[in-house]
Amino acid sequence: MLKFVVRRLLSAIPTLLILIALAFCLIRLAPGGPFDGEKQLPPEIEANLRAAYHLDEPLYRQFGRYMANLARGDFGPSFQYRDFSVTELIRSGFPVSLKLGGLAMLLALLIGVTAGSVAALRQNSLIDHGVMTTAMIGISIPNFVVAPLLILVFAVGLRWLPAGGLGDGSPRHLVLPVIALALPQVAYIARLTRGSMIEVLRSPFIRTARAQGLSMRRIMVLHALKPTLLPVVSYLGPATAAVVTGSVVIEQIFGVPGLGRYFVQGALNRDYTLVMGVVVFYGTLIIVFNFLVDLIYGWLDPRVRP
Domain ranges of the chain: 91-268
Q: What is the DSSP letter of 303?
A: G
- Give the Cα separation of 225 and 279 in Å (integer): 36
Cβ partners under 8 Å of residue 306, min gap 6? 3, 4, 7
Cβ partners under 8 Å of residue 60, min gap 6? none
Nearest to 290 by CA among 9, 6, 98: 9
Residue 204: the pLDDT is 79
Residue 60: the pLDDT is 82
Give the homologous superfamily in CATH for domain 91-268: MetI-like (1.10.3720.10)
Dihedral angle computed from the Cα positions of residues 81, 84, 89 and 91, in that order, rounded to the nearest 10 degrees: 180
Cβ partners under 8 Å of residue 46, min gap 6? 35
Instruction: Tell if the pTM clears 0.85, that is, is over it.
Output: no
For residue 213, give Cα distances in angstroms to 176, 228, 304: 45, 21, 32
Helices (H), the chain: 2-29, 43-52, 59-71, 86-121, 126-140, 143-150, 172-201, 204-211, 216-219, 225-245, 248-254, 259-268, 272-300
Angle at 156 between CA 151 and CA 159, to 5 degrees: 105
Nearest to 110 by CA among 191, 200, 190: 190
Residue 226: the pLDDT is 75
Per residue of the chain (306 residues), what is the pLDDT tens digit? Answer: 567 667 767 777 888 888 888 888 887 777 766 666 556 666 676 677 677 767 777 888 888 888 888 888 888 888 777 777 888 888 888 888 888 888 888 888 899 888 888 888 888 888 888 888 888 887 788 777 888 888 888 888 888 888 777 766 678 888 888 888 888 888 888 888 888 888 887 777 777 777 777 777 777 777 777 777 777 877 877 777 777 766 677 877 787 777 777 777 777 777 788 888 888 888 888 888 777 777 776 666 655 555
**Integer distance in angstroms from the first to the last C-alpha of the chain?**
8
- Is 250 in contact with 177 (CB distance < 8 Å)? yes
Residue 187: the pLDDT is 86
For residue 268, give Cα distances in angstroms to 36, 80, 94, 262: 11, 11, 19, 10
